[in-house]
Protein backbone atom coordinates (compact mmCIF):
# COMPACT_ATOMS: atom_id res chain seq x y z
CA UNK A 1 0.00 0.00 0.00
CA UNK A 2 1.32 3.41 -0.93
CA UNK A 3 2.03 5.93 1.82
CA UNK A 4 3.74 9.29 2.01
CA UNK A 5 7.48 8.76 1.96
CA UNK A 6 8.10 10.68 5.21
CA UNK A 7 5.64 8.41 7.02
CA UNK A 8 7.38 5.28 5.71
CA UNK A 9 10.77 6.54 6.88
CA UNK A 10 9.38 7.35 10.33
CA UNK A 11 7.64 3.98 10.66
CA UNK A 12 10.89 2.19 9.84
CA UNK A 13 12.59 3.91 12.74
CA UNK A 14 15.10 6.03 10.86
CA UNK A 15 13.98 9.29 12.45
CA UNK A 16 10.85 11.22 13.39
CA UNK A 17 8.46 12.36 10.67
CA UNK A 18 9.81 15.88 10.99
CA UNK A 19 13.34 14.52 10.65
CA UNK A 20 12.25 12.51 7.62
CA UNK A 21 10.95 15.68 5.97
CA UNK A 22 14.34 17.31 6.51
CA UNK A 23 16.10 14.29 4.94
CA UNK A 24 13.81 14.49 1.91
CA UNK A 25 14.28 18.25 1.55
CA UNK A 26 18.06 17.78 1.61
CA UNK A 27 17.89 15.28 -1.28
CA UNK A 28 19.12 12.30 0.77
CA UNK A 29 16.09 10.09 0.01
CA UNK A 30 15.55 8.22 -3.25
CA UNK A 31 12.69 6.08 -4.56
CA UNK A 32 13.72 3.57 -7.23
CA UNK A 33 16.83 5.61 -7.98
CA UNK A 34 15.08 8.99 -8.24
CA UNK A 35 15.44 11.75 -5.66
CA UNK A 36 12.26 11.94 -3.59
CA UNK A 37 10.27 15.10 -2.97
CA UNK A 38 7.97 16.01 -0.11
CA UNK A 39 4.49 14.63 -0.64
CA UNK A 40 5.59 11.73 -2.85
CA UNK A 41 4.17 8.30 -2.09
CA UNK A 42 5.69 4.83 -2.27
CA UNK A 43 4.94 1.21 -1.41
CA UNK A 44 7.63 -0.13 0.96
CA UNK A 45 6.83 -3.71 -0.12
CA UNK A 46 7.56 -2.94 -3.78
CA UNK A 47 9.64 0.21 -4.11
CA UNK A 48 13.35 0.56 -3.37
CA UNK A 49 13.67 3.38 -0.85
CA UNK A 50 17.11 4.58 0.16
CA UNK A 51 18.12 7.06 2.85
CA UNK A 52 21.66 8.43 2.52
CA UNK A 53 22.37 5.54 0.15
CA UNK A 54 21.13 2.82 2.51
CA UNK A 55 18.22 0.64 1.47
CA UNK A 56 15.24 0.40 3.81
CA UNK A 57 14.55 -3.31 3.84
CA UNK A 58 12.39 -4.22 6.81
CA UNK A 59 10.37 -2.86 9.67
CA UNK A 60 12.14 -3.30 12.99
CA UNK A 61 10.38 -4.04 16.28
CA UNK A 62 9.34 -0.88 18.09
CA UNK A 63 11.65 0.15 20.92
CA UNK A 64 10.83 2.69 23.65
CA UNK A 65 13.55 3.74 26.09
CA UNK A 66 14.06 6.15 28.98
CA UNK A 67 17.49 7.66 29.59
CA UNK A 68 18.58 9.73 32.57
CA UNK A 69 20.74 12.05 30.50
CA UNK A 70 23.80 13.43 32.27
CA UNK A 71 24.76 17.08 32.08
CA UNK A 72 27.33 17.82 29.35
CA UNK A 73 25.86 15.37 26.84
CA UNK A 74 24.45 16.35 23.44
CA UNK A 75 20.91 15.17 22.64
CA UNK A 76 21.98 13.75 19.29
CA UNK A 77 23.38 10.55 17.82
CA UNK A 78 26.53 12.35 16.60
CA UNK A 79 28.33 15.60 17.24
CA UNK A 80 30.77 17.36 14.87
CA UNK A 81 32.61 18.82 17.88
CA UNK A 82 33.28 15.37 19.31
CA UNK A 83 31.29 15.91 22.50
CA UNK A 84 29.56 12.98 24.27
CA UNK A 85 26.14 12.17 22.83
CA UNK A 86 23.18 10.13 24.01
CA UNK A 87 24.33 7.39 21.61
CA UNK A 88 27.20 6.67 24.03
CA UNK A 89 24.65 5.51 26.61
CA UNK A 90 22.59 3.17 24.39
CA UNK A 91 25.35 1.08 22.83
CA UNK A 92 23.73 -2.10 24.10
CA UNK A 93 20.51 -1.35 22.23
CA UNK A 94 20.08 -3.71 19.29
CA UNK A 95 18.00 -1.37 17.14
CA UNK A 96 18.69 2.19 16.06
CA UNK A 97 16.71 4.68 18.14
CA UNK A 98 16.59 8.47 18.17
CA UNK A 99 15.75 11.07 20.84
CA UNK A 100 12.18 12.30 21.25
CA UNK A 101 12.65 16.06 21.41
CA UNK A 102 15.67 17.66 23.03
CA UNK A 103 17.28 18.30 26.37
CA UNK A 104 19.92 21.03 26.49
CA UNK A 105 23.63 20.18 26.69
CA UNK A 106 23.80 21.81 30.13
CA UNK A 107 20.60 20.14 31.35
CA UNK A 108 20.05 16.63 32.66
CA UNK A 109 17.27 14.19 33.36
CA UNK A 110 14.52 12.31 31.57
CA UNK A 111 14.88 11.80 27.84
CA UNK A 112 12.83 9.37 25.76
CA UNK A 113 14.26 7.49 22.77
CA UNK A 114 12.47 5.34 20.21
CA UNK A 115 12.45 4.06 16.64
CA UNK A 116 8.71 4.75 16.36
CA UNK A 117 8.40 7.91 14.30
CA UNK A 118 4.64 8.28 14.75
CA UNK A 119 5.00 7.97 18.53
CA UNK A 120 7.75 10.60 18.60
CA UNK A 121 5.84 12.93 16.31
CA UNK A 122 2.72 12.62 18.49
CA UNK A 123 4.61 13.48 21.68
CA UNK A 124 6.35 16.48 20.12
CA UNK A 125 3.35 17.94 18.29
CA UNK A 126 2.55 21.43 19.68
CA UNK A 127 -1.20 20.69 19.85
CA UNK A 128 -0.71 17.99 22.51
CA UNK A 129 0.63 20.36 25.18
CA UNK A 130 2.08 17.42 27.10
CA UNK A 131 3.27 18.50 30.59
CA UNK A 132 6.97 18.24 31.38
CA UNK A 133 8.26 18.81 34.90
CA UNK A 134 11.67 20.19 35.87
CA UNK A 135 13.58 20.82 39.07
CA UNK A 136 15.58 24.03 38.70
CA UNK A 137 18.26 25.62 40.85
CA UNK A 138 18.01 29.37 40.28
CA UNK A 139 20.29 32.20 41.31
CA UNK A 140 19.17 34.13 44.36
CA UNK A 141 16.21 33.77 46.70
CA UNK A 142 13.07 33.71 44.60
CA UNK A 143 10.04 35.52 45.99
CA UNK A 144 6.37 34.54 45.75
CA UNK A 145 5.75 37.44 43.36
CA UNK A 146 8.23 35.98 40.85
CA UNK A 147 6.63 32.54 41.16
CA UNK A 148 3.24 34.10 40.44
CA UNK A 149 4.68 35.65 37.28
CA UNK A 150 5.86 32.22 36.12
CA UNK A 151 2.41 30.78 36.81
CA UNK A 152 0.69 33.54 34.86
CA UNK A 153 3.02 33.32 31.85
CA UNK A 154 6.12 35.34 30.99
CA UNK A 155 6.65 37.67 28.04
CA UNK A 156 9.66 36.53 25.98
CA UNK A 157 11.15 37.70 22.68
CA UNK A 158 9.21 35.01 20.80
CA UNK A 159 5.90 35.66 22.57
CA UNK A 160 4.23 35.19 25.91
CA UNK A 161 4.44 31.74 27.47
CA UNK A 162 1.46 29.70 28.54
CA UNK A 163 0.74 29.50 32.28
CA UNK A 164 3.03 27.11 34.12
CA UNK A 165 3.06 25.41 37.48
CA UNK A 166 5.81 26.74 39.71
CA UNK A 167 6.53 26.11 43.36
CA UNK A 168 9.37 26.72 45.78
CA UNK A 169 11.11 23.56 47.02
CA UNK A 170 14.00 24.68 49.22
CA UNK A 171 16.85 27.14 49.55
CA UNK A 172 20.53 26.33 49.09
CA UNK A 173 23.01 28.86 50.50
CA UNK A 174 22.06 32.03 48.59
CA UNK A 175 20.10 30.24 45.85
CA UNK A 176 16.69 28.58 45.43
CA UNK A 177 15.35 25.28 44.14
CA UNK A 178 11.97 25.37 42.40
CA UNK A 179 9.82 22.88 40.52
CA UNK A 180 8.26 23.92 37.21
CA UNK A 181 5.82 22.21 34.84
CA UNK A 182 5.34 23.54 31.32
CA UNK A 183 3.27 22.40 28.33
CA UNK A 184 5.25 24.02 25.51
CA UNK A 185 8.24 22.79 23.53
CA UNK A 186 10.02 26.03 22.79
CA UNK A 187 13.81 25.99 22.87
CA UNK A 188 15.36 26.44 26.33
CA UNK A 189 11.98 27.64 27.57
CA UNK A 190 12.40 26.99 31.31
CA UNK A 191 15.80 28.66 31.36
CA UNK A 192 14.45 31.69 29.52
CA UNK A 193 11.41 31.95 31.80
CA UNK A 194 13.34 31.99 35.07
CA UNK A 195 15.88 34.40 33.63
CA UNK A 196 13.02 36.70 32.55
CA UNK A 197 11.87 36.99 36.17
CA UNK A 198 15.39 37.78 37.36
CA UNK A 199 16.65 34.35 38.51
CA UNK A 200 18.94 32.66 35.94
CA UNK A 201 19.07 28.86 36.06
CA UNK A 202 22.19 27.32 37.59
CA UNK A 203 21.07 23.70 37.25
CA UNK A 204 18.13 22.12 35.45
CA UNK A 205 16.85 18.55 35.61
CA UNK A 206 13.76 17.13 33.89
CA UNK A 207 12.06 14.66 36.20
CA UNK A 208 8.88 13.68 34.37
CA UNK A 209 6.94 13.76 31.09
CA UNK A 210 3.16 13.49 31.39
CA UNK A 211 3.55 11.87 34.81
CA UNK A 212 6.13 9.33 33.61
CA UNK A 213 9.03 9.87 36.00
CA UNK A 214 12.67 8.90 36.37
CA UNK A 215 12.02 7.10 39.62
CA UNK A 216 15.24 5.48 40.79
CA UNK A 217 16.97 5.56 37.40
CA UNK A 218 20.53 6.74 37.99
CA UNK A 219 22.34 9.32 35.89
CA UNK A 220 23.54 7.72 32.65
CA UNK A 221 21.29 4.67 33.02
CA UNK A 222 18.74 3.58 30.43
CA UNK A 223 15.74 1.25 30.65
CA UNK A 224 12.74 0.24 28.50
CA UNK A 225 9.43 1.95 29.17
CA UNK A 226 6.93 -0.30 30.91
CA UNK A 227 3.67 -1.32 29.24
CA UNK A 228 1.79 0.91 31.69
CA UNK A 229 3.98 3.91 30.84
CA UNK A 230 3.48 3.32 27.12
CA UNK A 231 -0.26 3.06 27.63
CA UNK A 232 -0.32 6.43 29.41
CA UNK A 233 1.69 8.14 26.68
CA UNK A 234 -0.24 6.57 23.81
CA UNK A 235 -3.51 7.59 25.41
CA UNK A 236 -2.28 11.18 25.59
CA UNK A 237 -1.17 11.09 21.95
CA UNK A 238 -4.42 9.61 20.66
CA UNK A 239 -6.68 11.78 22.79
CA UNK A 240 -4.66 14.98 22.63
CA UNK A 241 -4.35 17.56 25.38
CA UNK A 242 -5.80 20.89 24.31
CA UNK A 243 -5.50 22.76 27.58
CA UNK A 244 -4.16 26.31 27.30
CA UNK A 245 -1.52 25.82 29.98
CA UNK A 246 -1.42 25.02 33.66
CA UNK A 247 -2.73 26.72 36.74
CA UNK A 248 -1.24 26.38 40.20
CA UNK A 249 -2.31 28.36 43.24
CA UNK A 250 0.53 27.14 45.44
- Which is nearest to 163 in space by CA: 155, 175, 172, 173? 155
pLDDT at 240: 52
Domains annotated on the chain, with CATH: 3-55 (3.10.290.10), 60-250 (3.30.2350.10)
Residue 247 has pLDDT above 80, yes or no: no
168 and 178 Cβ atoms separated by less than 8 Å: yes
Name the 3-class secondary structure at 177: strand
- Whole-model pTM? 0.76
pLDDT at 47: 86
Active site residue 104: yes
Task: Output the CA–CA distances (angstroms, integers) from residue 52 to 10, 13, 29, 30, 215, in the order listed.
Answer: 15, 14, 6, 8, 38
Q: What is the rounded distance in angstroms from the CA atom of residue 17 to the CA atom of residue 6?
A: 6
Q: Express each pLDDT in 49-79 by its tens digit.
A: 999 998 886 667 899 999 999 999 999 999 9
Backbone angles phi, psi at 6, to 5 degrees: -65, -30
Catalytic position from the list 88, 104, 116, 144: 104
pLDDT at 238: 81
207 and 132 Cβ atoms separated by less than 8 Å: no
Q: Express each pLDDT in 75-125 by its tens digit.
A: 999 999 999 999 999 988 888 899 999 899 999 999 999 999 889 989 988
Better-scored residue on pLDDT, 88 or 127 = 88
Residue 243 has pLDDT above 60, yes or no: no
- Which is nearest to 114 in space by CA: 197, 186, 219, 19? 19
157 and 163 Cβ atoms separated by less than 8 Å: no
Amino acid sequence: MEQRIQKIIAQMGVTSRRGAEELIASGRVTINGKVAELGMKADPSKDHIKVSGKLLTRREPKVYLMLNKPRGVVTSLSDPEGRPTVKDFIKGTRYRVFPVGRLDYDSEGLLLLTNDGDFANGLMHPSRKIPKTYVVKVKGMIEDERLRKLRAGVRLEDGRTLPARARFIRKSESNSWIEMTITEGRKRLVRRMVEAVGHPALKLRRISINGISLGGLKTGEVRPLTDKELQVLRKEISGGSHQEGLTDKQ
